[in-house]
Amino acid sequence: MIIGVLNQKGGVGKTTLSLNLAAAYATSGYRVLLVDADPQGSSLRWSSARAEDVKPLFPVVGMAKPSIRRELPELAKDYDVVVIDGAPRVTDLGRAAIMASDVILMPVQPSPFDIWATEDTVQLIREAQQFKPSLKAAFAINRKIANTAIGRDVVDAFTEAAFPVLDSQVCQRVVYAESAVQGLSVVEAAPTSEAAREIKALAESVIKFNKPERKAA
């Protein structure tokens, strides 16, 4: 399964979600590859921040080029799950990452403004589905503020969204930044934390979302 994590809007935690999802799958026994398709190279920098004596959970490779569409499927054969940390803007690179994916995950903060900002990305996905009907897409609530009105009513903000919203939501927590500085994921730095629980739940939600629907007998 190839999961493309994409959103043209900045500040939604795209890289944080990508690397932590990859870690959640890796600690669950999957063979995982994280692909940094963002020219900024944030996932690669995160990987290089890891202490030399700490074994990585998964490899991280840079592939910020439009040829990712052609090259990644062959590379993905050696892994159960591939997570693409996609480019933040609508470019040929973004289009190529979408076409290389089986599932597109769009991280958004619980705000109508975030939904409106995804319009260009949604349009790209719709276009890609014309050529790749099996492509699925969903929103993932990220950086939710716990115990607030907008946090409680978050689903209502997405009632008219173009794609479904996954049930599992990820809250804004300091441990994400603290772990990233060390080149770690939250499931490594704080395995019993609420952050780790939320990320694992989201990872499982993506698996379930990607399962083929059973046809009626």
Range of the domain at 125: 2-210
What Å distances lie between residue 114 and 9, 75, 124, 161, CA to CA? 7, 33, 16, 11
Give 102-115 pLDDT, tens digit per residue. Answer: 999 998 877 767 77
Q: Could you tell me which residues are beta bridge partners of residue 82? A: 2, 33
Burial string for 83-115 (b: 16+ CB within 10 Å, else e) reads bbbbbbeeeebbbbbbbbbbbbbbbbbbeeebb
The pLDDT assigned to 149 comes to 53
Domain membership flag for residue 163: yes
Nearest-CA neighbor of 30 among 82, 81, 101? 81
Domain membership flag for residue 150: yes
Domain membership flag for residue 217: no
Domain membership flag for residue 117: yes
Strands (E), 102-202: 103-108, 136-141
The pLDDT assigned to 216 comes to 42
Domain membership flag for residue 216: no
The ranges of the chain with pLDDT < 50 are 214-217
The pLDDT assigned to 47 comes to 93
Q: What is the CATH number of the domain that holds 132?
A: 3.40.50.300
Domain membership flag for residue 26: yes
Number of domains, the chain: 1
Domain membership flag for residue 54: yes
The pLDDT assigned to 84 comes to 96
Q: For tokens 């997570």, what's the residue?
A: 83
Kindly report the pTM of this predicted structure: 0.89
**Biggest distance spanned by C-alpha atoms of the chain:** 54
The pLDDT assigned to 215 comes to 47
Domain membership flag for residue 13: yes
Pairing verdict, β 103-108 and 2-5: parallel
The pLDDT assigned to 212 comes to 67
For residues 41 and 62, the answer to whether their CB atoms sit within 8 Å is yes
